Amino acid sequence: MATFSELGLRPELLSALQSIGFETPTPIQEEAIPKLLTGERDLIGLAQTGTGKTAAFGLPLLDNIEDDFYHVQALVLCPTRELCLQITSDIEKFSADMRNVKTVAVYGGASIGVQIKALQKGAQVVIGTPGRVLDLVNRGKLKLENLSTLVLDEADEMLNMGFKDDLDAILSTAREERRTWLFSATISQEIARIAKNYMHDPEEIATAAKNSSSANITHQVCTVHARDKYLAIRRILDAHPDIFGIVFCRTKAETQDIADKLIRDGYNSDALHGDLNQNQRDVVMRRYRDKSLQVLVATDVAARGLDVKEVTHVIHYQLPDDPEVYVHRSGRTGRAGSSGVSIAIAHHRDGRKLRSIEHLIKKPFEHVDLPKGDQVVEARAKHWVTEILNTESNEESLSHLWPIIDSGLAELDKTELLHRVAGMALQSYIDEYKSAHDINQPAQKGRGGDRDDRGPRESRGSGEFAVFKISLGAKDRINKGSLMKEINRMRSIKGIEIGKIRIHEDHTILELDKYRSKEAFNSFKRWNYFGKKVFVDQLDDRESADKSFSRPPRDKNRGGGGGYQGGGKKKHRKGNSGGKRY
Ligand code: AMP
């Protein structure tokens, strides 16, 4: 294995690496650095997150900088503000011993004026998100005519995020005689198009199997009812007191909701998603990085590419539709040689998603049971004992308190004292978990056995429902068949997953796929039934929704708890929240 100095880096970079504590190059660094230092060819690096690719391009990029030439010589494009700040921080560390090298980060959502001023001071290295970079180029504030190196980092994600046109514009504007280095976890047709149109005879390097996942990550799955997913997160957190984790959700609203619930339930948690302003996101990230936050709840976009050391667990509250997103999510753990666990909280209809992920990561999921109540309490007790054993007593600082403590507790013998102290530490868990039920469900059915997995994507539901109350009931001669026909008549929600329906005399309660509830709202606005305007309420809490379903129907032919897909499949689920009326 080569050393950094054998790779041919300049002394200022070697001394910085020593200060940071990078001793030996990672495989991608060992392969890419010599090529990028001397070669004239463009490069495509097929590299996963966590492999050390920032240094793989950052070090040669800096090695090529002319320190005393105060023009933009290197531009790194990346998909998100967080990644932009992370790369900037890495490049600043690598260039700490280089004289006069200035790095500037430019990204949306922050003052463009401040960024323009920073550029005007003469930066040689710019790291930016495509939209803001293009804006600055168009305003004439970021000039790319002296560019010698252009890096596209996480190119696949930039394309997924809709930056295609911006990338095309930047790539066609930047100086022709530059070198272009493209890094991506996956090689799609679009990436191949970029390579063909904007790169010269690129050399391809790959450090791991395409689209696969780090060997250091254990992939686990547990199966619960959709309604128990939040409880599942809590069981995982409670059974792993030392967890330093990220919970991934699919939407911003869901992310905020889960974070709010965790905070309410006493966990050291916060949310990271695109509805927070930049300052809020920075504060959350800072707290997470310095570990004053234990559980980050994030959307895929916000946490993309994040490099936080020692993340122990990645928890998938919802599995993503795209298996590659799973690879990126799970890559937040098991970084830089450490090991990590990725746990998918699945429900019984996630079989197909799990199989696509297994196919991509070339590993089977390990099916695990969530800990039962007594196991959680045992885990907490063991942790408590270990904490005591690892705590050094500080006789001196407590000495003035001994009279109070000693005399106050004199009448208790050691066993009694221990029991009381243990009770103080553990009672809340004992109380909470003494009647907790086992939330594990049987694992997903095998290939082909899961009927619901087979429909076209848009007609498959999420298995989670929003509950609606509509102003049509038995008196309006509505029945389940005619109601489903009505809903399927509405073009934008045709085929929506319908859960339980209960028809009452003057109203009906029904469940619809939670993730399409907005579209349902819009469609209902124009709903007329035989000339009568139909009013719809979304029930905003589970309790009232459940109550609505528990009331027996007046007419047994009209009621019933069974649920139906628009096309007639059976479901048995409970409703969820909402809270609007129109
Ligand atoms: P990256 O893939 O660039 O996000 O890097 C993943 C993690 O590995 C980061 O925390 C880096 O600081 C760390 N890292 C990268 N290269 C090395 C190295 N040669 N030695 C030790 N740590 C490294």
Which atom of ligand 1 approaches the CA of 24 most closely?
19
Based on the domain organization, do 336 and 257 belong to the same domain?
yes
Percent of the chain at pLDDT exceeding 90: 42
51 Cα–ligand 1 center, Å: 6
Among 22, 53, 311, which is best to mutate for testing ligand 1, by the most ligand atoms less than 8 A from CB? 22
pLDDT tens for residues 374-426?
A: 999 999 999 999 888 888 877 788 888 888 988 888 888 889 999 999 989 89
179, 171 contact by CB (below 8 A): no
CA distance between the termini of the chain: 67
Does the structure show a pLDDT above 80 at 580? no
For the residues 488-511, what does the mean pLDDT come to? 82
For ligand 1, say whether the CB of 55 is within 6 Å of any of its atoms.
yes
For ligand 1, say whether the CB of 336 is within 6 Å of any of its atoms.
yes
Based on the domain organization, do 223 and 186 belong to the same domain?
no
Whether 174 maps to a domain, the answer reads yes
Based on the domain organization, do 360 and 378 belong to the same domain?
no
325, 353 contact by CB (below 8 A): no
Based on the domain organization, do 260 and 173 belong to the same domain?
no
Among 181, 307, 332, which is best to mutate for testing ligand 1, by the most ligand atoms less than 8 A from CB? 307
Among 24, 33, 51, 328, which is best to mutate for testing ligand 1, by the most ligand atoms less than 8 A from CB? 51
309 Cα–ligand 1 center, Å: 9
Does the structure show a pLDDT above 90 at 190? no
What whole-number distance in Å separates Cα of residue 318 and Cα of residue 190?
27
Does the structure show a pLDDT above 50 at 473? yes
For ligand 1, say whether the CB of 124 is within 6 Å of any of its atoms.
no
pLDDT for residue 497: 76
> Cβ atoms within 10 A of the Cβ of 413, count?
7
For ligand 1, say whether the CB of 49 is within 6 Å of any of its atoms.
yes
50 Cα–ligand 1 center, Å: 7
Nearest to 565 by CA among 473, 444, 455: 455
Which atom of ligand 1 approaches the CA of 305 most closely?
4
For ligand 1, say whether the CB of 307 is within 6 Å of any of its atoms.
yes
Reduced 3-state DSSP string for 471-535: CCCHHHCCCHHHHHHHHHHCHHHCCCEEEEEEECCCCEEEEEEHHHHHHHHHHHCCCEECCEECC
Query: Helices 81-94 and 53-63 sit at what angle, rounded to 10 degrees?
Result: 50
Whether 398 maps to a domain, the answer reads no
As for how many domains the chain has, the answer is 4
For the residues 206-221, what does the mean pLDDT come to? 70
Which atom of ligand 1 approaches the CA of 25 most closely?
19
Which atom of ligand 1 approaches the CA of 26 most closely?
19
48-57, 169-178, 282-291: least confident range: 48-57
Distances 202 to 153, 256, 514 between C-alpha atoms, Å: 15, 43, 46
574, 544 contact by CB (below 8 A): no
Based on the domain organization, do 381 and 477 belong to the same domain?
no
Q: What domain range is 496 assigned to?
A: 457-558
What whole-number distance in Å separates Cα of residue 564 and Cα of residue 109?
44
pLDDT tens for residues 55-107?
A: 999 999 999 999 888 899 999 999 988 899 999 999 999 999 998 899 999 99
Whether 342 maps to a domain, the answer reads yes
Based on the domain organization, do 235 and 330 belong to the same domain?
yes
Whether 152 maps to a domain, the answer reads yes
Percent of the chain at pLDDT exceeding 70: 86
Based on the domain organization, do 64 and 163 belong to the same domain?
yes
At 300, the pLDDT band (50, 70, 90 cuts) reads confident
Based on the domain organization, do 140 and 244 belong to the same domain?
no
Based on the domain organization, do 479 and 525 belong to the same domain?
yes
The number of angstroms, rounded, from the C-alpha of 374 to the middle of its chain's C-alpha atoms is: 30
Nearest to 274 by CA among 304, 294, 230, 245: 304
What whole-number distance in Å separates Cα of residue 205 and Cα of residue 224?
41
For ligand 1, say whether the CB of 211 is within 6 Å of any of its atoms.
no
Among 26, 28, 59, which is best to mutate for testing ligand 1, by the most ligand atoms less than 8 A from CB? 26
The number of angstroms, rounded, from the C-alpha of 199 to the middle of its chain's C-alpha atoms is: 32
For ligand 1, say whether the CB of 22 is within 6 Å of any of its atoms.
yes
At 26, the pLDDT band (50, 70, 90 cuts) reads confident
Phi, psi of 334, deg, nearest 5? 65, 35
Residue nearest to atom 11 of ligand 1 (CA): 52
Instruction: Please compute Rg for the chain using Cα positions.
Output: 28
pLDDT for residue 130: 96
> Cβ atoms within 10 A of the Cβ of 69, count?
13
Does the structure show a pLDDT above 60 at 581? no
Whether 446 maps to a domain, the answer reads no
